[in-house]
Amino acid sequence: MTALDNLQQQVKLRVPGATEARNTARDQLAISVEAIRAYVQGLCQSSPAQAASLVQAASMQLAASPVRSKPILGAKQGTAQAGIVNLAANATLLSGSKKKGNRLFNWEYSADGKVWIAVPSTPYAQTTIAGLTPLTTYQFRVSLTDKSGTGAWSQALSFLVH
């Protein structure tokens, strides 16, 4: 790294050939750093119980696994005409497992949050509701019926229909 820093200073002073030398040194350093990272990662994978201490000893940090949080219920505006909403449920969150099988998704919507209107159940985690009044905010919810019975309704999702 010190050699790379010195070569960068030479580039700033416009020393002939310094740019190529700096680029070569930079590339070699990047290759070395990646080799060290891969080596430490291999050690951590072979000894998961000691991974934290191995990473710390190498003056590195453990990367956090990215967390993607998909909501239980999502809504999108229909594209064909006004007053259509496409709903999609997260089946895994509703059922608590990734198992598929005989299950039905129950759908309801409300314009006031008090009176709920049932929509035909579907075997898929998605449905389309048509005939809604444009420029009105509706609430939507979903529940799952499987071999263990009908689950609780999801939290209501508010959505402005166009």
Q: CA-based Rg of the chain, rounded to a whole angstrom? A: 28
pLDDT mean across residues, the chain: 90
pLDDT in tens, 56-81: 999 998 877 777 778 899 999 988 78
Q: Which residue has the tokens 């010195």?
A: 6
Question: Exposed/middle/buried for 94, CB within 10 Å: 0-12, 13-18, 19+?
Answer: buried
**Distance between CA atoms of residues 88 and 33, nearest Å:** 44
Q: Which residue has the tokens 């119980």?
A: 49
**98 has a pLDDT exceeding 70:** no
**14 has a pLDDT exceeding 90:** yes
**Domains along the sequence of the chain with CATH:** 2-57 (no CATH), 73-161 (2.60.40.10)
Q: Distances in Å between the alpha carbon of 75 and those of 41, 94, 129, 142?
A: 41, 16, 10, 12
Amino acid at 15: V
pLDDT > 70: percent of the chain: 96
pLDDT in tens, 128-158: 999 999 999 999 999 999 888 888 999 999 9
Average pLDDT score over residue span 105-113: 95
* pLDDT at res. 149: 86
Q: Which residue has the tokens 């700033």?
A: 12
pLDDT in tens, 32-49: 999 999 999 999 888 888
DSSP characters over 31-68 = HHHHHHHHHHHHHHHH-GGGHHHHHHHTT--PPPPP--
* pLDDT at res. 97: 67
pTM score above 0.95: no
Asked if residues 55 and 44 have their Cβ atoms less than 8 Å apart, the reply is: yes
